[in-house]
Structure 1
Amino acid sequence: MSASITNTTGIPIRGAVAGDHAGISAWFRRHAASLTWLLPVVAITVIVQAWNMSGTPQRIDDEGTYTAQAWAIMHLGEITHYTYWYDHPPLGWIQIAGYTGLTGAFARYPFAVEAGREAMVFFSAVSSILLFVLARRLGAGRITAAAAGLVFALSPLALQYHRTVYIDNVATPWLLAAFVLVLSRRQQLAGFAGAAACLGIAVLSKETYLLALPFLVWMAVRRADRSTRRYTLSVAGAVLVIIGGGYLLLAAVKGELLPGSGRVSLFEGITYQLGSRSASGSLFDPGSLANAAASQWWALDPVFIVLGSASAVVGLFLRRVRPIAAMLVFLLAMMFRPNGYLPVPYVIMLIPFAALLVAYTAERAVLSIAGRVRTRTRLGTGTRRGLGITWAVTTAVALVVSVPLWGTQLRGFVLGNLDLPMQQAEQWVGDNVSKSSRLLVDDAMWVDLVEDGFARNNVVWYYKLDTDGAVERQSPNGWKDSDYVITTDSMRTGGNSSSDVRQAIENSTAVATFGSGDQQVEVRRIHAEGRTAAQTAITRASDLRKTMGTELASNPALRADDGTKSQFRAGQVDSRAMIALGQVLADQDVRVDRFTPLTGETGQPFRTAVLHTSDVASAERVAATLDAMSESFRPASVEREGERLTVTYTPADPTTTATSAS
C-alpha cells in the first residue's frame, strides 16, 4: 500500500492514490480517520467558546469599536461609525460585517458585541481546522494534530482572547491558511499564490501579521521546486504586492493617501502606528502598559506561556518546524524591544503556533524515546533518547500542573457573568435617561444605545471627544456639552490621556453604580458648572431633604417603624416622593415599608416607596391622588396589588430638590 498526500488538505492517507476515488462519499472514506480526530476537536472549540460567551469576559472598548465598525457597514453604509483615519486596515471588520450580515447575528442578541463574539466562534473554528491540517502537513500524527487543537481551544489564555472581538482573531485563520498552502507538494504555483493571497488578507485584517512574512518566505524557499522556484516565488510576491496595493488604492481614490489640511491620510495612520504612537514601556517596569499586558497573559495561563516559549526553542532544532519555531521566538523577542508598542491582543498571533509546537515537540520526544526518529543528526541514539525523556517529562509535568489551573479558569468562563455590570448599566440608561441626552460612553455600548433610540450624534465614544474633528465641531464646549458619562475600566484607564474625558469624570457625580473593582460601571451625571459648585448644590439639596423628611416623620398619619423614619430624617428619600406622600397623608393614614435602593442606586435618594392602606378602596384613592399631581411630582409608575402600592419616580438631578407641589 502506498502513502500519498491529497492536494486539498495535505492529510497523509494510506492505500489511496489520486484518481482512485471520486465524489464526496469517497473523500469522506479516505479521510475518515483524520475526521474522527478533527471533528471532536472542532466541536469542543465551538462549544467551549460559545458557552456563556455573553457573560465572560466583560465587554471592552476595543471589541465595541470593531463591532460598531462592522455594524456601520451593514446599517449605515459607512466603513466606520466615526471618521476612518487608517489606524488599521478595514478588512478585519469588513469580514465581521460579512459574517453578521449573512447570518443575521445582530438580530439574535440584545447586545451588539455578542454578535461579534459569535463571529469570533466561527473564525476560531476555522483556525482549529487549519491548525490540524498544518500539523499534518508538517508530518505530525493525527493524535498530535488533535492535541494542538485542544491546547488552542482550551487554554484559558486562548479562550479569553478568542472570545473577545479582536481583528487578530479574523487574521489568524488566513495566516494559518498561508502556511498550509505554502506546504503544497503539488500545484506549487497555485499553492504559493494562494499562500501570498492569504497572507495579504491576514495583513489587511491586522497589520502586525506582516511580521510573519520572512518566515513564510523561508518555508516557501525550502519547499519550492528548484526548477521553478524563481517563477513561483515571483508570482507569489506579485500577488502579495497587488493585494497590498489595493489598500493604497483605497486611500488614493478617497484622496487620503498623503497628509492634507482638514483630512486624514494613510501616511499619517502608518506613521502613527510605527513612530508617533506612545510606547508601552518595558516589560520589566511594573508601571508600564507592556507589563500590564504581559501580566494579564500570565495570570490566565502561566504554564502554557512557559511551555510554549520553551517549545519554540526546542523547535529550532527540529528541521520541519524550524521556520515556525523561529517565527515564534522572533515574535517573543519583539515584545522586549525598547520604546515599542505592545498591544494586548498581540498574543493572539502566537497562540496557534505555540500550541502546534507544544504538541509537535512532545510527539518528537516520544518517538525519540521509542527509537523511531530517523533524522540526520550527529547525536547518538542514547543521547536522542535522553533528550526525548527530558522533554517528555517536562511536558508531562506541565500537563499535570495545568489541569487544576485550567479547570479553575474554565469554570469561570463557563459560569461567570463578569459582563453583568455593563448589561445593568445599559438597561438603567435605557430606562431612566432621556433619549435627548448626550452621553460619553465606552464603545462597547455605542451600537446598543443608538439602537435603543439615542441619536447617533448624541452617543459619543469617549476616545473621539477630542480626537475627531467632526465630534469636536458638535461639542464646541468639549465635555460640558455632554449630560452623562458612563465609566468603565477601559475609560478609567485609557481615558486618562484625554483632558476632556478626565474633566468630564472629575466634574460628575455617580447616579448609578454596578459591579465593583475592574468590572465596575458607573453612570455619572456631568455638571457643566464644575465640581465645586455642583457639590455645594448637592449638599444644599440633601439638607432640604433632611428638613422635609423630619417634618414628614413627625406626621401622625404616617405609620412606619423607627428605621424608616430615620431614613426620612436623614434626607435619604426623594423629595418628590415625600411631597406626594404628604398629599396622601392629608387624606388618610398610610403605612410605609422600609426603603431599599434599586439595583445600582445604593447611596442615592430612595425613589421607590411601598405604601399600604387600610383597604382596596383607600389604595385606589391614593393612586388617584398620585395620578392627579402635576407632572413634576407625578410618579413614573404606580403598581397596585390590593391595598399595596409600589410608587416609583424617575431619577432626579442630584443638585436639585423639589420643594413644593403647587
Structure 2
Amino acid sequence: MTVLELVKPLPPVQREEKPKDRTDFYLAVGLTTAVLALLAWNITGFPAASDDEGTYLAQAWAVQNGKGLAHYTYWYDHPPLAWIQLAAGAWLPGLIAPSLLAVAAGRIAMLPLQAAGLLLVYVIGRRVGFPRWAAALGLLTYGLSPLFLTMGRQIYLDSFAVVWILAALALALSPSRHLWHYAAAGAAAAVGVLSKETILVILPAVLVALWQNTARSTTRTWAFGAFASGLVLVGCFYPLYALLRGELFPGAGHVSLFGAIQFQLGSRSGSGSVFEAGSGANSLLHSWMYYDSVLLIAGAVATIAGLVLRRLRPVTVAGAILILVALRPGGYLPAMYVVQVLPFFALAIAGVLFHTLSRLQHGWKWSAIALAVVLAAVVVAPRWYVGDRRALTANDNAAYVQAAQYLRAQPPSTVVVDDVLWLDCVNAGYPEDRVLWFYKLDLDSEVAARLPGGWRDVDYIVSSPALRQDPGTLPTVTALLRNSTVIESFGSADGVIEIRKVDKEPS
C-alpha cells in the first residue's frame, strides 16, 4: 500500500435525509379549504349587497379600464391600494358568469384574499408558540364565526388591510430571523395601511413582535432599520402621488390628501359612544353582537387576559388597541371595523385556552377540557349554527338581481342608481357618463355639469334602500323621487327596489 493510498480521504458518509414534516401544511390548507367552501356557499345571496361594496368595485373597474383611481373624482377619502388589488382579479368571475350581479362577482374575487387570511392566522398561532391544535382552533374560531361568514363575504377595504397586517406579523415573527423578513414585514405593513388607513393603529403590535423576535445585542437594531425601510419606501408612494399631481395640500379648485385627512379626523360626524343607548356606535355594537356575541365577548376577555402572556402579546396588543379605538367617545365607527378585530380575538381565545391548559395539573386539565367541550356544544354551537345556517341559505339579493336583469334589457338612458347597480348598468352598455351615482348629483360639481337641466335631464331613477336612507338631505334626489312614477318594483317592505320613470313636467 502506498503512502498516497494511506492518506486518501474516505468517501463521504451517505446520510439518509428525513422527510420534511408537512403536517402543518396539510392541516392548515385542509381547514382553510373547508372554511372557504362555507364562505363561498351562497356568497351571491347573503348578505345584502351594500353601497360600499359597489363603490369599491366600481373604483376597481375604473383602474382596470384606465379611468384613473375612481369612477368619479378621486378625493383621497381612502388610499387606493385595496381596490387596485381587487382590480387584478375582479374581472375573472364576471367573465366566467356574466349574468351574475356585479357585486356578487366581486365577492367571489375576494375568496383568495380570505384564504390567505385564514392561513396567516394559523401561521401566526404557530409562531407565537401554539401547538397544532391551538393554531387550528384559532383558524376555526375565526373562520366559522357567523360574523366572518357575513362580513368576510363582502367587498371591504378592511379585509385587504387586515390580511396584510397579519402578513407583517407573520414575517416579524419568522423563526429564520433573516433581515429581509423584517424589511418585508415593513413593506407588508405599508401595503396594509395603503389598503385601509385605519389599520395603522395596529402597527405597535408588529413592533412588539419585532422586539420579541430579535436579540438586543445582535439583530434588533438592524431588524428595526430594515422594517422602517420597507415601511417608508412603500408608504411614501401615496403622498408622492398626491404631490406630483399637485394635490398634497388644500387649494382652490382641487381635492387634496391633507384636506381629506382633515375631513376624516375633524369634520366627519362621530358615531357617539358605544355605552350611549341609541347612538350610532351603540347600535352598531348591537348589530355585531346579533351575529356573534360569543367571539366578541370571549375575544375581548381573552385579549385583556392575554396581555400578561409574553408570547401572546403581539396578538393581544393588536386586539387591545382595536378595543380602545372602538370605545373612544365621539369618534366615527364604521360598520366594517369589526373585520379588523376578528382574527386577533380568535387567536387570543385559542392562546389563552392553550396557556391555561398547559399550566393545569393532569387531572384538572382533563376537567377543563371537558368543561370547554361542554360549553362549545351547549353555548357556542347552537348560536353559530343559527347564524351560519342563515349565511348558507338566505337570499337577500333577489331584488337587486331582478332589478339588474330589468335594466340590462332596457335601451341605454340617463339613469340614477346606487353604487350596487352602477357597474351592472355600465356592463350592460349604458354610457358611463349617463349612469349617475345618486350621492354625486348634489355633491360633485362635475356630475351636476352633466345635467344642465337638473333633474329633468334624468330618464329613470332606481329607488333602493341605500338611496332612501337619508330622505330630504339630497335636493336633486328628492326632486327625482317626487317627480317620478313607479313602473317596476322588486322585493318587498323596506328592501323594495323600484324602477321609477321621471315625469319631465313637475306634478
Q: TM-score, normalised by structure 2?
A: 0.90
Instruction: Identify the residue that residue 459 of structure 1 maps to in structure 2.
Output: 435
User: How big is each residue's C-alpha offset from its partner over 1:478-512, in whole Å with a ceiling of 9 and x where there is no partner?
Assistant: 43432322122222225664333334334434332
Instruction: Identify the residue that residue 637 of structure 1 maps to in structure 2.
Output: none
Instruction: Identify the residue that residue 124 of structure 1 maps to in structure 2.
Output: 114
- Verify: 1:512 aligned to 2:498, yes or no: no
Instruction: Identify the residue that residue 201 of structure 2 maps to in structure 1.
Output: 211
Instruction: Identify the residue that residue 398 of structure 2 maps to in structure 1.
Output: 420
- Verify: 1:201 aligned to 2:177, yes or no: no
The Cα of 1:463 is off from its aligned counterpart by 1.7
Greater relative contact order (Cα < 8 A, sep 6+): 2
Is contact 1:120–1:165 with CA below 8 Å preserved after alignment?
yes
User: How big is each residue's C-alpha offset from its partner over 1:242-268, in whole Å with a ceiling of 9 and x where there is no partner?
Assistant: 222110111111121112222111111
User: How big is each residue's C-alpha offset from its partner over 1:183-231, in whole Å with a ceiling of 9 and x where there is no partner?
Assistant: 1233342221111111000000111110111121122122222123223
Instruction: Identify the residue that residue 12 of structure 2 maps to in structure 1.
Output: none
The Cα of 1:518 is off from its aligned counterpart by 4.3
After TM superposition, the structure 1 = structure 2 runs for residues 230-269 of structure 1, keeping only pairs within 5 Å, are 230-269=221-260
Matching residue within 425, 444, 451 for 1:468: 444
The Cα of 1:434 is off from its aligned counterpart by 4.2
User: How big is each residue's C-alpha offset from its partner over 1:450-469, in whole Å with a ceiling of 9 and x where there is no partner?
Assistant: 11122211111112112222
User: How big is each residue's C-alpha offset from its partner over 1:356-394, in whole Å with a ceiling of 9 and x where there is no partner?
Assistant: 1112222222222345xxxxxxxxxx9xx69x9779847
Matching residue within 495, 498, 507 for 2:474: 498
For 2:257 and 2:96, how far apart are their aligned partners in 1?
34
User: How big is each residue's C-alpha offset from its partner over 1:62-97, in whole Å with a ceiling of 9 and x where there is no partner?
Assistant: 001111111121124422111111001110000011
Larger radius of gyration: 1
For 1:365 and 1:88, how far apart are their aligned partners in 2?
41
User: How big is each residue's C-alpha offset from its partner over 1:322-366, in whole Å with a ceiling of 9 and x where there is no partner?
Assistant: 232132122112112122110111000111111111122222222
For 2:457 and 2:273, how far apart are their aligned partners in 1?
38
Instruction: Say which SS state the counterpart of residue 139 (structure 1) adopts.
Output: coil
For 1:286 and 1:403, how far apart are their aligned partners in 2?
30
Is contact 1:419–1:519 with CA below 8 Å preserved after alignment?
no
For 1:485 and 1:21, how far apart are their aligned partners in 2?
73
Is contact 1:134–1:180 with CA below 8 Å preserved after alignment?
yes
Instruction: Identify the residue that residue 407 of structure 2 maps to in structure 1.
Output: 429
Matching residue within 21, 41, 44 for 2:34: 44
- Verify: 1:443 aligned to 2:419, yes or no: yes
Is contact 1:283–1:291 with CA below 8 Å preserved after alignment?
yes
Instruction: Identify the residue that residue 359 of structure 2 maps to in structure 1.
Output: 368
Q: Structure 1's 285 and 331: CA in aligned 2 closer, same or farther, altered over 3 A?
A: same
For 1:189 and 1:339, how far apart are their aligned partners in 2?
41
Is contact 1:44–1:153 with CA below 8 Å preserved after alignment?
no
Instruction: Identify the residue that residue 329 of structure 2 maps to in structure 1.
Output: 338
After TM superposition, the structure 1 = structure 2 runs for residues 539-554 of structure 1, keeping only pairs within 5 Å, are none
Instruction: Identify the residue that residue 8 of structure 2 maps to in structure 1.
Output: none
The Cα of 1:396 is off from its aligned counterpart by 4.8
For 1:358 and 1:520, how far apart are their aligned partners in 2?
41
The Cα of 1:106 is off from its aligned counterpart by 4.4
Instruction: Say which SS state the counterpart of residue 130 (structure 2) adopts.
Output: coil
For 2:144 and 2:93, how far apart are their aligned partners in 1?
28
AA in 2 matched with 1:195: A
Instruction: Say which SS state the counterpart of residue 260 (structure 1) adopts.
Output: coil
Q: Which moved more, 1:131-140 or 1:278-287?
A: 278-287
Same amino acid, percent of matched pairs: 37
Instruction: Identify the residue that residue 47 of structure 2 maps to in structure 1.
Output: 57
After TM superposition, the structure 1 = structure 2 runs for residues 530-609 of structure 1, keeping only pairs within 5 Å, are 530=506, 533=507
For 1:247 and 1:186, how far apart are their aligned partners in 2?
31
Instruction: Identify the residue that residue 359 of structure 1 maps to in structure 2.
Output: 350
User: How big is each residue's C-alpha offset from its partner over 1:586-627, in whole Å with a ceiling of 9 and x where there is no partner?
Assistant: xxxxxxxxxxxxxxxxxxxxxxxxxxxxxxxxxxxxxxxxxx
Matching residue within 303, 311, 315 for 1:324: 315
Instruction: Identify the residue that residue 220 of structure 2 maps to in structure 1.
Output: 229
- Verify: 1:485 aligned to 2:461, yes or no: yes
Is contact 1:369–1:389 with CA below 8 Å preserved after alignment?
no
Instruction: Say which SS state the counterpart of residue 340 (structure 1) adopts.
Output: coil
Q: Structure 1's 193 and 64: CA in aligned 2 closer, same or farther, altered over 3 A?
A: same
Q: Structure 1's 362 and 506: CA in aligned 2 closer, same or farther, altered over 3 A?
A: farther
For 1:55 and 1:245, how far apart are their aligned partners in 2?
40
After TM superposition, the structure 1 = structure 2 runs for residues 83-232 of structure 1, keeping only pairs within 5 Å, are 83-101=73-91, 103=92, 105-110=94-99, 111-227=101-217, 228-232=219-223
Instruction: Say which SS state the counterpart of residue 449 (structure 2) adopts.
Output: helix
Is contact 2:86–2:109 with CA below 8 Å preserved after alignment?
yes
Q: Structure 1's 423 and 495: CA in aligned 2 closer, same or farther, altered over 3 A?
A: farther
AA in 1 matched with 2:31: V
User: How big is each residue's C-alpha offset from its partner over 1:546-600, in whole Å with a ceiling of 9 and x where there is no partner?
Assistant: xxxxxxxxxxxxxxxxxxxxxxxxxxxxxxxxxxxxxxxxxxxxxxxxxxxxxxx
Instruction: Identify the residue that residue 409 of structure 1 maps to in structure 2.
Output: 387
For 2:141 and 2:328, how far apart are their aligned partners in 1?
28
For 1:286 and 1:476, how far apart are their aligned partners in 2?
45
For 1:241 and 1:263, how far apart are their aligned partners in 2?
27
Is contact 2:177–2:213 with CA below 8 Å preserved after alignment?
no
User: How big is each residue's C-alpha offset from its partner over 1:506-527, in whole Å with a ceiling of 9 and x where there is no partner?
Assistant: 4434332222244322222334
Q: Which moved more, 1:190-199 or 1:487-496?
A: 487-496
Q: How many residues align?
A: 491
AA in 1 matched with 2:327: F
For 2:481 and 2:322, how far apart are their aligned partners in 1?
38
Is contact 1:131–1:148 with CA below 8 Å preserved after alignment?
yes
For 1:390 and 1:404, how far apart are their aligned partners in 2?
21
The Cα of 1:169 is off from its aligned counterpart by 1.1
Q: Structure 1's 521 and 291: CA in aligned 2 closer, same or farther, altered over 3 A?
A: farther
Q: Structure 1's 106 and 332: CA in aligned 2 closer, same or farther, altered over 3 A?
A: farther
Instruction: Say which SS state the counterpart of residue 461 (structure 2) adopts.
Output: strand
